Amino acid sequence: MSLESALESLKHGEFVLLFDSAGRENEIDMVVAAEFVTPEHIARMRQNAGGLLCMALEHNFANDLNLTYMHDILSNSTISNKEMIMGLAPYGDHPTFSLYVNHYQTYTGITDKDRALTIKEMANLFNIENKQKKFSSSFKTPGHVPLLIASKGLLSTRQGHTEMSVYLAQIAGLSPITAICEMMDAETYSALSVDKAEKFGKQHGIPLIDGKELLEYAKVH
């Protein structure tokens, strides 16, 4: 069963390939549990995926850090061109972007080492008492790691890579925080197809999980 192998992979700090659905973004993301992220993970996502490397946070954890969605931040700001603010994306969902951050110990923030440090230190906040205070004192914005806030009801509310990856980490018994990156195709200049992603997964021993299977599991459990 692909879900079982995906959960085992995540528990061991390894990658999972996650397909949302043909009716949505129709994209595959490389996913790893944030608590295990190393510079090697960042390098592999950069080289083998190539999309935007983001961090997905469980909704309550984001609340504890006093984070809000970027479209809300902009709506409540003094910018005059509010018509630019993203409403629904073409595939029907609100974006989950919040702030972009760097850990204060990074230099430029974009290197594999810097992004791994930012992601690992963000994940470490999950298990401490005064999360908001530590977050404010240890991270700077704008930075190079986009934070995504999973919807409150997870898959019952939104079925994006943000929610799916957080749910995967949750049912694997890990901190519900992930690093995700869309897989791109340098031959077609578009998203990598499921067939090519399956081939890549087999070559590198990375399980591919279909969002449909995850939704079915969520309904039962």
Q: Is 144 a catalytic residue?
A: yes
**Does residue 72 carry a catalytic annotation?**
no
CA distance 5 to 9: 6
Which residue among the candidates 4, 12, 72, 91 is catalytic per the annotation?
Answer: 91
Identify whether 163 is a catalytic site residue.
Answer: no
Q: Quick: pLDDT tens for 89-131.
A: 888 788 999 999 999 999 999 999 999 999 999 999 999 999 9
Q: State the catalytic residue, choosing from 102, 114, 161, 181.
A: 102
Instruction: Provide the domain count of the chain.
Output: 1
Instruction: For residue 183, give the DSSP letter.
Output: B
- Residues 84-93 have pLDDT tens digits of 988 888 887 8
Known catalytic membership, residue 221: no
Give me the sign of the Cα torsion angle 110, 116, 119, 120: negative
Expressed in angstroms, the distance from the first to the final Cα of the chain is 16
Q: What is the pLDDT of residues 5-45, one digit of tens each?
A: 999 999 999 999 999 877 677 899 999 999 999 999 999 99
Catalytic residue among 35, 54, 100, 210: 54
**What is d(CA 114, CA 182) in angstroms, rounded to the nearest whole number?**
20
Give the residue ranges of DSSP H helices in 78-209: 112-124, 131-138, 161-171, 194-204
- CATH number, residue 134: 3.90.870.10
Of 29, 35, 114, 121, which one is the catalytic site residue? 29
The one-letter code for the residue type at 5 is: S
Give pTM, 2 decimals.
0.95
- Give residue 181's domain range: 2-220
The answer to whether residue 20 is catalytic is: no
Among residues 27, 114, 182, 210, the one annotated as catalytic is 182
29 is catalytic: yes
Given CA atoms 190, 193, 196, 201 in this order, what sign does their dihedral have?
A: positive
Given 48, 144, 198, 213, the catalytic residue: 144
**What tokens appear for 126 in the block?**
């999950």
At a CB cut-off of 8 Å and minimum separation 6, what does 34 contact?
55, 119, 120, 122, 123, 169, 175, 177, 178, 179
Which tokens is 153 given? 């009801």
